């Protein structure tokens, strides 16, 4: 669907693409119009979740672009990359807090409608406990999301660690809330006629989009270790 893309890619400025000590020489940020010769697109991927955010393969065959499409060279690469990651990870935390809240809203409404054992299921104490657990997780999502927005907009400068922390934890909690809300719907939770099936799939995708959570956590742990070494060793 997109007419252009923004590519964060390795670049050869005369020293090659690979560093002699290992790793990649980053980089270049390039705006790529998709109507230049040599570019073609594959079909959108038939994904499990977040289907309204289409993705697909893009093929490059001897593509040449004028220099004006270079947005950042290696001097500005890191700042650009981490700025995008900082604001995107924060945005995912905000969006997934909304998904957690929507899941909770559907679950508590359904628990008041659905009758089992002659009463609405909310009257079973175990269901009340489950509702409170969902509510608590929604509150934690919201608290962490508010904190990262305050931090990134009101402190001296935005910080990628704050955003990564919020993305990883909010998406995990939102996924747990969506999972439990689907469970609350019983068999209906699995049916497309009810909302939980979609929310659950979208929550599942959030554990991978905008950085797979294990990799983001690995990066976060790496930064914490670097910081400790700088300040303590
Ligand atoms: C809805 C959605 C929207 C997206 N939007 C965008 C977008 O706008 N722009 C964009 O660029 N991308 C986007 N993506 C892609 C997304 O960022 C990647 O799918 C994600 O970062 C994971 O990368 P990968 O798929 O290459 O998995 P891989 O990196 O191949 O990971 C596969 C598995 O290997 C593990 N693994 C990988 N490396 C290591 C390692 N060094 N050590 C230990 N384990 C490792 C991972 O934990 C994971 O379990 C989107 C994805 C989704 C689902």
Print the SS3 string covering 21-76: CCCECEEEEEEEECCCCCEEEEEECCCCCCCCCCCEEEEECCCCCCHHHEEECHHH
Band of pLDDT at residue 167, cut at 50, 70 and 90: very high
What is the whole-number distance in angstroms between the Cα of residue 213 and the centre of ligand 1? 9
Which ligand 1 atom lies nearest to the CA of residue 50? 1
Cβ-contact 85, 160 below 8 angstroms: yes
Which ligand 1 atom lies nearest to the CA of residue 211? 21
Q: Whose CA is nearest to atom 42 of ligand 1?
A: 215
Give the pLDDT of residue 162: 96
Give the pLDDT of residue 21: 85
Q: Whose CA is nearest to atom 11 of ligand 1?
A: 210
Cβ-contact 139, 169 below 8 angstroms: no
The mean pLDDT value for 130-151 works out to 97
Which ligand 1 atom lies nearest to the CA of residue 205? 53
Give φ, ψ of 27 to 5 degrees: -175, -170
pLDDT for residue 18 is more than 90:
no
Band of pLDDT at residue 231, cut at 50, 70 and 90: very high
Band of pLDDT at residue 2, cut at 50, 70 and 90: confident
What is the whole-number distance in angstroms between the Cα of residue 48 and the centre of ligand 1? 15
Report the distance separating Cα 47 and Cα 56, nearest Å: 10
| 50 CB-contact burial (10 Å; exposed 0-12 / middle 13-18 / buried 19+) | middle
What is the whole-number distance in angstroms between the Cα of residue 216 and the centre of ligand 1? 10
Band of pLDDT at residue 23, cut at 50, 70 and 90: confident
Our measurement of the distance from residue 180's CA atom to the centroid of its chain's CA atoms, rounded to an integer in Å, reads 20
Look at the pTM and tell me if it is higher than 0.85: yes
Band of pLDDT at residue 44, cut at 50, 70 and 90: confident
Cβ-contact 166, 52 below 8 angstroms: no
**pLDDT: which is higher, 60 or 25:** 60
Residues within 6 Å of ligand 1 by CB:
50, 53, 55, 205, 208-212, 214-215
Q: Whose CA is nearest to atom 12 of ligand 1?
A: 210
pLDDT tens readout for residues 206-218: 999 999 999 999 9
pLDDT for residue 54 is more than 80:
yes
Report the distance separating Cα 193 and Cα 106, nearest Å: 13
């Amino acid at each position: 669907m997109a007419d252009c893309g923004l590519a964060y890619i390795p670049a050869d400025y005369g020293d090659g693409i690979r560093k002699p000590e290992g790793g990649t020489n980053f980089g270049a940020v390039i705006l790529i119009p998709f109507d230049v010769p040599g570019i073609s697109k594959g079909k959108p991927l038939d994904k499990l979740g977040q289907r309204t955010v289409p993705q697909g393969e893009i093929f490059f065959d001897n593509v040449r672009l004028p220099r004006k499409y270079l947005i950042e060279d290696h001097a500005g690469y890191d700042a650009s990359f981490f700025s995008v990651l900082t604001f995107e990870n924060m945005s995912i935390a905000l969006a997934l807090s909304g998904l957690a809240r929507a899941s909770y809203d559907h679950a508590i409404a359904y628990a008041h409608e659905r009758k089992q054992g002659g009463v609405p299921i909310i009257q079973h104490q175990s269901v009340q406990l489950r509702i409170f657990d969902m509510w608590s997780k929604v509150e934690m999502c919201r608290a962490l999301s508010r904190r990262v927005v305050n931090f990134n907009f009101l402190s001296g400068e935005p910080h990628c660690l704050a955003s990564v922390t919020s993305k990883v934890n909010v998406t995990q909690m939102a996924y747990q809330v969506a999972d439990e809300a689907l469970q609350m719907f019983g068999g209906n939770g699995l049916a497309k006629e009810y909302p939980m099936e979609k929310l659950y799939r979208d929550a599942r995708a959030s554990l991978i989009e905008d950085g797979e959570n294990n990799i983001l956590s690995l990066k976060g742990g790496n930064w914490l270790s670097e910081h400790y070494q700088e300040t303590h060793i």
